[in-house]
Amino acid sequence: MSSTLGLSWDQHHLGQEVQMGSVARRSFASENVVNRDHALPNPSWNKDLRLLFDQFMRKCEAGSWKRLPSNNHSPQSFQDFQTRFVDPKLPKEQISQARLFTRSFEDGLGFEYVMFCNDAEKRVVCFFQAGPYLQGAPGFTHGGAIATMIDATTGMCAFRAGGVVMTANLNINYKRPIPLCSVVVMKSQIDKVEGRKVFVSCNVRSVDEETLYSEATSLFIKLDPNKKLA
């Protein structure tokens, strides 16, 4: 598959590391939204996801890896992005409705995941549990959902290395179908940076690493602060 997917920095991470379990309450338009950190265990996480999470939290204590928090919306970063790259005359109403696609499902139904980064090695690892609403072929995860998570993971990798980027190209080889509700390990790394181009690769494997589900390469472009996107 070759596609151009994804605004590939996660406007909700933006390099902020927050305390585990922290909950920020924001008044947003007329509604109050509990904007919690979704990259923490919840009752829908299966044993594999919890084990991987615990294993990497121990690596975080050792110092080389960092857990990346993840909220479903962030008015401030949205606004910063819009001010820098988007025509300010575009309608603002939709901002209050905006949610990060991958965090828009109820717990356990869609994308359950946590990412960890190792900035020194320019790597990001994502542990992803595909919920039942992500079905494609019966019993298996939809290819678009897999592409979304590859885009999110490689995008985070590019963002950590290069700042605000967008996906210009994403190529995926789907080698084995991913059983629905299973956990997979997505490992991404920066291959090279040429000017504004950031090349990232990614593989998706089973928890025991025996099965290679997908392989991907992505090209991200660092946004030019002097160019508007729209």
Ligand X SMILES: CCCCCCCC(=O)SCCNC(=O)CCNC(=O)[C@H](O)C(C)(C)COP(=O)(O)OP(=O)(O)OC[C@H]1O[C@@H](n2cnc3c(N)ncnc32)[C@H](O)[C@@H]1OP(=O)(O)O
The residue within the footprint of ligand X, chosen from 44, 169, 171, 211 (CB under 6 A), is: 169
Q: Where are the alpha helices (DSSP H) in the chain?
A: 47-62, 75-85, 143-162
Any contact of residue 162 with ligand X (CB under 6 A)?
no
Q: Of 25-33, 89-97, 150-158, 205-213, which segment contacts ligand X by CB under 6 A?
A: 150-158
Both tokens assigned to 1: 């598959």
Any contact of residue 168 with ligand X (CB under 6 A)?
yes
Per-residue three-class SS string for 122-181: CEEEEEEEECHHHECCCCEECHHHHHHHHHHHHHHHHHHHHCCEEEEEEEEEECCCCECC
| Least distance to ligand X, CB of residue 165, Å | 8
Give the SS3 label for residue 74.
Answer: coil
Give the SS3 label for residue 198.
Answer: strand
Any contact of residue 37 with ligand X (CB under 6 A)?
no
Q: Is 37 a catalytic residue?
A: no
CA distance linking residue 182 with residue 5, whole number of Å: 24
Q: Which is nearer to ligand X, 166 or 185 (CB)?
A: 166
Instruction: Report yes or no: 202 and 186 within 8 Å, Cβ to Cβ.
Output: yes
The residue within the footprint of ligand X, chosen from 8, 35, 129, 182 (CB under 6 A), is: 8
Any contact of residue 5 with ligand X (CB under 6 A)?
yes
**Cα torsion for 137, 141, 147, 152, to the nearest 10°?**
160
Q: Which is nearer to ligand X, 49 or 198 (CB)?
A: 198
CA distance linking residue 189 with residue 191, whole number of Å: 6
Q: Of 42-50, 90-98, 162-170, 178-186, which segment contacts ligand X by CB under 6 A?
A: 162-170
Q: Of 57-65, 121-129, 183-191, 217-225, which segment contacts ligand X by CB under 6 A?
A: 217-225
Nearest CA to 129 out of 66, 53, 65 is that of 53
The residue within the footprint of ligand X, chosen from 3, 4, 16, 76 (CB under 6 A), is: 4
Any contact of residue 163 with ligand X (CB under 6 A)?
no
| Least distance to ligand X, CB of residue 11, Å | 7
The residues in 44-103 that bind ligand X, with binding defined as CB under 6 A, are none
Any contact of residue 6 with ligand X (CB under 6 A)?
yes
**Chain residues in the site for ligand X (CB under 6 A):** 4-8, 10, 151-152, 155, 166-169, 195-197, 219, 221, 223-224, 227, 229
For the annotated catalytic residues, the residue numbers are 151
